[in-house]
Amino acid sequence: MPARVAIVCNDPKPSSPDRHWIWRSSGGSRISKDNFIDQCDRGILDTARVIASFLAEAGYAASIFPISDVQQLLSILHQDRPDIIFNCCESFNGSAAGEMNVASTFELAGIPYTGSTALTLGIALNKGIAKALFRTHGVPTPDFAIFEEPPSPEMARGLKPPLIVKPVSEDASVGIDAGAIVYDYPALEQRVRFVLDQFRQPALVEEFIDGREMHAALLASSREQLTALPVSEILFEDIPAGAPRILGYEAKWLPNTRAYAATIQRCPAEIDPVLAERVQTIALAAARAVGLRDYGRIDLRIREKDNAIFVLEANPNPEIVAESGMVIAARAGGLSHGDMVRQILQRALERSSNEGNQLR
């Protein structure tokens, strides 16, 4: 009898231009609110449908469950009682912090699921904790500090501008745009105040690494072993002179912006093979530090002046929609989109059975 797979995802919520943080940011989008399109949550259901089709091709009975409240989630786990869950939940009721709580509910119900554990999801979401673990494990990461109040120059002593300011516990580049890069202490104080007021959480401040941005996608080749896929580079083409070269919210999610049009991904990256191997080695070390499982992506920068490599953050359960970075890297490594999806499920099945179920 085929395994019954529940594809659980967050029910996407439409964004309102008038309530979006981007308009209150000093570096926010200058496009008209009438033309505002935010794609951050729009692909979730499409991704779930594609996953369902790939799993059906392999003989699995796959059903999609968009969730928006606790009782609905509990009903899926206790009444439908799937054999395994393909976890596509990136948030819960619009809160990124809810992602780990959904996974912990799977664990309490005793139902195996794909991707990283609830603990890893929580660690990776809190950038300060993740970076502290990187340091403990010898993984290079930019110097940083966490501020729960606007800093004075004395409080920020030791951090060398330019700096980048982020909410400490958001993902998908929420809170990051051109205004997140600051070049002096008055601007730092202003941006930290913006993060505190807008997101109601501490601000992470780290040294901005001027150089090339690399993404290292990772895919488990066995229960114990993550493998690095070909390295991708984020190219910032036609960025206006003086604008920061960052993969911020606009570049990721707002298609009517110049930053979105000017940011592309190249995979494999045009990079010296020895340097690419170093990127992959450091990425795997970062993944081990936070406990990534099944698949993930590590974001890094290579400093222009000396080719030093720095890990920016770890991304468990990254997007696996068509043409996402994870899928592009898998394809460059010789795997189709469907093969990658089925391989992710296979790793979770192996954990749930001593014998290891085989793909059909």
What does the domain layout of the chain look like in residue ranges?
A: 4-352
Whole-prediction pTM: 0.94
Amino acid 283: pLDDT: 98
- Give the type of residue at 44: I
Which has the closest alpha carbon to 8: 94, 105, 95?
Answer: 105
- Cβ atoms < 10 Å from Cβ of 317: 26
As assigned by CATH, the class of the 4-352 domain is alpha beta
Amino acid 323: pLDDT: 87
Amino acid 357: pLDDT: 42
Q: Tokens standing for 116?
A: 């990283």
Q: Tokens standing for 179?
A: 């205004």
Amino acid 33: pLDDT: 80
Distance CA 37, CA 23 (A): 13
Distance CA 218, CA 295 (A): 5
φ, ψ of residue 181 to 5 degrees: the values are -90, 125
- Cβ atoms < 10 Å from Cβ of 2: 14
Which residues lie across from 67 on neighbouring strands?
Answer: 10
Match 């619009």 to its residue by tokens. 94
Question: Can you list the alpha helix ranges (DSSP code H) found in 217-309?
Answer: 249-253, 258-262, 273-290
Amino acid 34: pLDDT: 78
- Cβ atoms < 10 Å from Cβ of 102: 23
φ, ψ of residue 261 to 5 degrees: the values are -70, -30
Amino acid 356: pLDDT: 45
φ, ψ of residue 285 to 5 degrees: the values are -65, -40
Q: Tokens standing for 155?
A: 């409080």
Q: Strands, DSSP E only, in the chain? A: 4-10, 61-67, 84-88, 144-147, 163-167, 181-182, 203-207, 211-220, 226-228, 232-236, 263-266, 295-303, 309-316
Task: Count H helices and E strands in the chain, helices first.
Answer: 11, 13
**Contacts of residue 19, Cβ cutoff 8 Å, sequence gap at least 6:** none
- Give the type of residue at 319: E
In the predicted model, residues of the chain with pLDDT beneath 70 are: 14-15, 354-360
Distance CA 22, CA 342 (A): 37
- Cβ atoms < 10 Å from Cβ of 187: 17
> Maximum CA pair distance of the chain?
65
